[in-house]
Structure 1
Amino acid sequence: MNTQHQPNPLELVKGLGLNRRQFLAATTGMAAAATVAGIPLATSASAAPGANGVVVPPGKRGIILYTVRDAISRDPATTPYASGFKAVLEELGRIGYKQVEFAGFGQHANAPGGNVNTVAGAQLLRTWLDDNGIEAEGNHGSIPSTVTDATLAQFDAACEVANILGMGHIGTGNDPTGSAYLADWVAAAERWDVFGQRAASHGLKLYTHNHDVAYSFLLDSGPLDAQGRPTRSSGTRRLEHFLANTDPAYVYLEMDIYWAHVAKYKHTAYTAADGSTVTSIFNPLSVVQKQPIRFPLFHAKDGDSRPDLANGYEMVPFGTGDIDYKTFLTQTGAKGYHNPMYEQDTAPGGAANPGQSLEYSRISYQNMAALRG
Structure 2
Amino acid sequence: MIQNSRRIFLRNSAVLAAGAAFMPEHLFASAKKIERLGLQLYTVRDAMHADPAGTLKKLSDMGYFQVEHAGYSDRKFYGYSVKDFKKVLDDTHLNMTSGHVTLTQQHWNAASNDFTDEWKHAVADAAEVGQKYLISPGMDNDLLKDIDAFKKFMNVFNKCGELCHKQGLQFGYHNHDFEFATLFNGIPLYDVMLVNTDPDLVAQQMDIGNMYPTGAMPLDYIKKYPGRFELMHVKDQIKNADGKYENTVLGKGILPLKDILKEARKIGGTSQFIIEQEEYQGMDPLECSKLDLKVMNRWGY
TM bucket normalised to smaller:
0.7 to 0.9
In the alignment, which of 92, 95, 105 is matched to residue 135 of structure 1? 95
**Cα offset, 1:366, TM superposition:** 1.0
In the alignment, which of 285, 295, 304 is matched to residue 238 of structure 2? 304
**Cα offset, 1:197, TM superposition:** 1.4
Letter in 2 for 1:247: D
User: Hey, what does 1:368 align to over in structure 2?
Assistant: 296
Q: Does the CA-based 8 Å contact 1:175-1:210 persist in structure 2?
A: no
Inter-partner Cα distance in structure 2 for 1:142 and 1:296: 18
Provide the secondary structure at the position in 1 that maps to 2:72: coil
**Cα offset, 1:359, TM superposition:** 1.0
State TM-score, norm by structure 1. 0.63
Inter-partner Cα distance in structure 2 for 1:298 and 1:144: 22
Could you list the per-position Cα deviations for residues 74-112 of structure 1 after superposition, in whole angstroms to 9, with x for gaps in the alignment?
2xxxxxxxxx22111111011111111100137xxxxxx
Inter-partner Cα distance in structure 2 for 1:73 and 1:104: 9
Letter in 1 for 2:123: C
Q: Does the CA-based 8 Å contact 1:159-1:199 persist in structure 2?
A: yes
State TM-score, norm by structure 2. 0.77
Structure 1, unpaired ranges of 5+:
1-57, 75-83, 107-112, 221-232, 265-281
Matches within 5 A, 1:39-188: 60-74=36-50, 84-105=51-72, 115-116=79-80, 121-146=81-106, 147-148=108-109, 151-175=115-139, 177=141, 179-188=144-153
Structure 2, unpaired ranges of 5+:
1-33
Inter-partner Cα distance in structure 2 for 1:208 and 1:114: 21
Inter-partner Cα distance in structure 1 for 2:88 and 2:281: 23
**Cα offset, 1:336, TM superposition:** 8.0
Q: Does the CA-based 8 Å contact 1:59-1:98 persist in structure 2?
A: no
Q: Does the CA-based 8 Å contact 1:319-1:368 persist in structure 2?
A: no
Q: Does the CA-based 8 Å contact 2:67-2:96 persist in structure 1?
A: yes
Letter in 2 for 1:303: Q
Inter-partner Cα distance in structure 1 for 2:40 and 2:300: 22
Higher relative contact order (CA 8 A, sep 6+): 1
Specify whether residues 257 and 114 from structure 1 end up closer, same or farther in structure 2 by C-alpha distance, changes over 3 A only. closer
Higher helix share: 2
**Cα offset, 1:173, TM superposition:** 2.0
Inter-partner Cα distance in structure 2 for 1:192 and 1:366: 36
Higher strand share: 2
Specify whether residues 335 and 314 from structure 1 end up closer, same or farther in structure 2 by C-alpha distance, changes over 3 A only. closer
Specify whether residues 336 and 87 from structure 1 end up closer, same or farther in structure 2 by C-alpha distance, changes over 3 A only. farther
Q: Does the CA-based 8 Å contact 1:100-1:136 persist in structure 2?
A: yes
Inter-partner Cα distance in structure 1 for 2:78 and 2:123: 22
**Cα offset, 1:247, TM superposition:** 1.3
Could you list the per-position Cα deviations for residues 148-182 of structure 1 after superposition, in whole angstroms to 9, with x for gaps in the alignment?
25743222211111112211110222146561442
Inter-partner Cα distance in structure 1 for 2:243 and 2:59: 32
Inter-partner Cα distance in structure 2 for 1:239 and 1:335: 16
Alignment partner of 1:359 is 2:287: yes
Alignment partner of 1:328 is 2:295: no
User: Hey, what does 1:40 align to over in structure 2?
Assistant: none
RMSD: 2.8
Alignment partner of 1:255 is 2:206: yes
Q: Does the CA-based 8 Å contact 2:226-2:269 persist in structure 1?
A: no
Q: Does the CA-based 8 Å contact 2:68-2:96 persist in structure 1?
A: yes
**Structure 1 residue ranges (4+ consecutive) displaced by more than 6 angstroms after TM superposition:** none
Percent identity reads 25
User: Hey, what does 1:284 align to over in structure 2?
Assistant: 218
